[in-house]
């Protein structure tokens, strides 16, 4: 967060939601009209890129050299990543997934969930693995490039994390209307599975924000951890019931992180002199 720059979170999120929703709702309509040619992806991909593109515009149109230098440094400097954070970085999501499957066995879940998945849980005209990479990249370039700092300029880390996570969850809303999307499929399987998807994003958002801050706000770290989340969700034959259990596990993990790092989450020191 740059102290000599006045962040504009309301403008940022308003523009991000407006552009993304316009593109994705249009893409949803086209996905049912011309799904064989995949033309809807021409609308979906720009929507995915929107958080990053708006961040880019706001950073480089700011005329603030410190903001620009900070953005570039956090984007290209791998030394920001802290070695002591690597265990948490690598293990949080895989262990959360495995724990959730173990817990599901107590409720009649199948042990076959430990098998490697035969394919991805969604399909489309863009390869699924590419979507996982692009989602992690373009989202975090935007969320960590400008969005989260804009919230943290007004709130302590706890409030900024919660507000960001709720907004991030709502940002995905149009995807439930897109033919063949993961969100569309689980909505039509059971509405509560779709509700769980949106709820699960909130603890995930808190955890990603914590990982990013603990790695000196490295955008690279956020992108890599986001990708680990995505691939962990797709790696095993985990059922939707187990994913509901996983949401509870992630809430517990986020709560433990907040309790352990309470001073950082509730500190207001960074707000001193940051408001105009």
Residue 226 annotated in active site? no
Whether 189 is catalytic: no
In 3D space, the residue among 121, 117, 101 whose CA is nearest the CA of residue 109 turns out to be 101
Token pair in block for residue 107: 């409720």
Residue 232 dihedral angles phi and psi, to the nearest 5°:
-65, -35
* Residue 147 CB partners (closer than 8 Å, separation 6+): 9, 12, 13, 16, 51, 55, 164
Identify the three-state secondary structure at position 116. Answer: strand
> What is the SS3 assignment for 236?
strand
State the catalytic residue, choosing from 139, 140, 234, 246. Answer: 139
Q: What is the phi-psi region of residue 273: left when phi exceeds 0, alpha when psi lies from -120 to 50, beta otherwise?
A: left
Structure tokens at 194: 């779709």
Task: Provide CB contacts within 8 A for 207, sequence distance 6+.
Answer: 92, 250, 253, 254, 257
**The pair of three-digit structure tokens given for residue 102, joined into one six-digit string:** 């173990």
234: left (phi over 0), alpha (psi -120 to 50) or beta: alpha
Identify the three-state secondary structure at position 115.
Answer: coil
Could you give the residue numbers annotated as active site? 139, 172
């Amino acid at each position: 967060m740059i102290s000599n720059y006045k962040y504009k979170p309301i403008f940022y999120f308003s523009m991000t939601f407006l552009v993304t929703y316009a593109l994705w709702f249009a893409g949803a309509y086209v996905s049912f009209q011309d799904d064989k040619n995949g033309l809807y992806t021409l609308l979906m991909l720009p929507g995915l890129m929107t958080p990053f593109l708006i961040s880019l515009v706001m950073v480089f149109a700011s005329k603030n050299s410190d903001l620009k230098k900070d953005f570039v440094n956090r984007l290209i400097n791998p030394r920001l990543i802290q070695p002591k954070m690597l265990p948490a970085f690598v293990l949080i999501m895989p262990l959360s997934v495995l724990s959730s499957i173990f817990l599901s066995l107590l409720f009649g879940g199948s042990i076959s969930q430990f098998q490697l998945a035969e394919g991805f849980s969604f399909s489309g005209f863009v390869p699924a693995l590419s979507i996982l990479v692009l989602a992690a990249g373009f989202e975090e370039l935007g969320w960590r490039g400008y969005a989260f700092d804009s919230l943290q300029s007004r709130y302590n880390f706890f409030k900024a994390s919660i507000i960001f996570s709720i907004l991030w969850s709502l940002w995905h809303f149009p995807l439930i209307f897109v033919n063949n999307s993961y969100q569309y499929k689980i909505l039509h399987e059971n509405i509560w599975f779709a509700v769980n998807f949106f709820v699960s994003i909130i603890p995930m958002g808190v955890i990603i924000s914590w990982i990013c801050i603990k790695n000196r706000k490295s955008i690279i770290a956020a992108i890599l951890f986001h990708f680990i989340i995505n691939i962990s969700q797709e790696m095993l034959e985990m059922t939707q019931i187990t994913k509901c259990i996983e949401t509870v596990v992630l809430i517990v993990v986020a709560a433990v992180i907040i309790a352990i790092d309470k001073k950082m989450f509730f500190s207001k020191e960074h707000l001193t002199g940051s408001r105009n």
